[in-house]
Structure 1
Amino acid sequence: MTDELPNFPGDDPILAEARALEASIRAIRRAQGKRNPEDFPLGSAECFAAMEEFVRDVGRVLELELRYLNQGGDHDQHGAGASG
């Protein structure tokens, strides 16, 4: 097993959405006064704790998205929305 990530094309829409989600959550955490994993030394207990909190935040956002979709929300998974 290797630690390398799969080689996604630069224009892969799922990868772009994942990067946007990550950036949004990092910005929201900063606005809330929370620290992100990169704010701590790699491998430190604080870094791992921040990673766990970050993953929980991602899970909460994804859960909200699923609830919205299950309630019939109008959502284009490719980002076009109503104007697309």
Structure 2
Amino acid sequence: MACEPLEPPEYPSIWAEARALEASIRVIRRAQGKKNPEDFPPNSPECLAAMNEFVRDVCRVLEVDLDEPDVEDDDDDNDLYGAGAAG
């Protein structure tokens, strides 16, 4: 089964940055002797483990701590839709 083509991105510059980040991390992992997800059969335990490691590497570059609990803010000023306390 062939993959369906992706929709054109709404923000092409962000899409290009994300693709560059992905490519960089793949090359760095390869240089470190690590495997990338595409090196394993899809949905295999090894592929899923490599995917988890890849995501952790992306988060490390973006300085996102996956082990830090998500802190809920009681103040709704950061509400994505702007409803805040009045919503």
Gaps of 5+ in 1: 65-84
Per the normalisation by structure 2, the TM-score is 0.63
Q: Which ranges of 4 or more aligned residues in structure 1 deviate by more than 4 Å?
A: none
| 1:7 to partner: Cα distance | 2.0
Instruction: State the structure with more CA Rg.
Output: 2
Q: How many residues align?
A: 61
Q: Which runs of 5+ in 2 are unaligned?
A: 65-87
> Identity, % of aligned pairs?
70
Higher relative contact order (CA 8 A, sep 6+): 1
Quick one: distance in 1 between partners of 2:25 and 2:41? 20
Q: Kindly state the Cα deviation for residue 58 of structure 1 after the two structures are TM-superposed.
A: 0.0
Q: Which has the higher helix share?
A: 1
SS in 1 for 2:28: helix
Q: CA RMSD in A?
A: 2.4
TM-score of the superposition, structure 1-length normalised? Answer: 0.65
